[in-house]
Amino acid sequence: MEGQIIKILSNQFIVKCDKEVVMCLIKGKFRKDKLLPLVGDKVIIDKNQKIITKILPRKTEIRRPSVSNITQGIVVASVKKPDLDTNLIDKILVELEFNNIKPLICFTKIDLLTTDEWINIQAIIDYYKKIYPVYLSSEIEEIKKVFKDEITVLTGQTGAGKSTLINRLEPSLKLHTGEISEALGRGRHTTRHAEIIDLFQGQLLDTPGFSALEFPNMLKKEVRDAFVEFKDFPCPYRDCMHIKEEDCNVKKAVSNGEIARFRYNNYLDLVKTAQEEENKFKRK
Ligand SMILES: Nc1nc2c(ncn2[C@@H]2O[C@H](COP(=O)(O)OP(=O)(O)O)[C@@H](O)[C@H]2O)c(=O)[nH]1
Ligand SMILES: [Mg+2]
Ligand SMILES: [Zn+2]
């Protein structure tokens, strides 16, 4: 029988099948091969013995929390308190792109902006709208629709408004969506785990105890390819990094405003970080 791992409790794998939930163990073979099933895995189980016999191929993978098959990520970003940080937004967008997880963006705390501030922020939001589905956190009914048939994760910095958004979407949910719940208090024993729950005809990954998603490092060329709008400006050079090259069409598009300067600057930062990682690796 086929199912999906929705939660792991030490050695127990909670597998959701068509009409029931089965607590399974794993066969020794997996442990020997160091192939551990993850939350999100589609698996074949032996229902009578309550064991997982096979893990089906993973579509996507996140390193930490260690989960598979997430299909989309909503980047929750506040425009104030904390201030809008497009550098962080672009870092997350690039990671999601590279890992084949569809990115969406939800901007929060628009209500805190003055009219002048809103004009600047609106230009940035409009630019993102050309590339990705974008929502304001006040657009609750619209946001509910994006969950259908997807496995969604919410990500974004602490204080961005993830928990608030979830509570507005579904007040009955007591979700953590990152960070450790305040109610647990500091110093108390807090568990970090990931769990998939049903929501709005789709599923949501709850990630208590994880302040950010972690993905493997990317090469600088992978960073470049994840800035998807650059592809609209093909370069005369094969494999152009759009940095030093003359006659680079991406640089031209930045000059004439077709590509936003802030996005390009974030691109340069992310490429620099990727290059530093590549250099470290080479020296070993
Ligand atoms: N003014 C305003 N405050 C918000 C909004 N969304 C969240 N907050 C506040 O921002 C703080 C952090 O929100 P929270 O949901 O805990 O962020 P999380 O760390 O991403 O889960 C809380 O005090 C919220 O009440 C918003 O749209 N407008
Ligand atoms: Mg929270
Ligand atoms: Zn170029």
In the chain, where are the structural domains located? 2-57, 67-206, 220-283
108: Cβ below 6 Å to ligand 1?
yes
Whole-prediction pTM value? 0.94
Q: How confident is the model at residue 187 (pLDDT cuts 50, 70, 90)?
A: very low
Q: Do 105 and 128 contact (CB within 8 A), yes or no?
A: yes
111: Cβ below 6 Å to ligand 1?
yes
User: Domain 67-206 is classified in which CATH homologous superfamily?
Assistant: P-loop containing nucleotide triphosphate hydrolases (3.40.50.300)
208: Cβ below 6 Å to ligand 1?
no
What proportion of the chain, given as a percentage, has pLDDT over 70? 93
Q: How confident is the model at residue 241 (pLDDT cuts 50, 70, 90)?
A: very high
Which ligand has an atom closest to residue 154 CA? Answer: 1
Model pLDDT, residue 71: 98
Between 78-92, 180-194, 209-223, the lowest mean confidence (pLDDT) is in 180-194
Pairwise CA distance, residues 112 & 14, whole Å = 42
Summarize pLDDT for 13-67 with one digit per residue, the tens.
999 999 899 999 998 777 777 788 999 999 999 999 999 999 999 999 999 999 9
List the CATH code of the domain at 220-283: 1.10.40.50
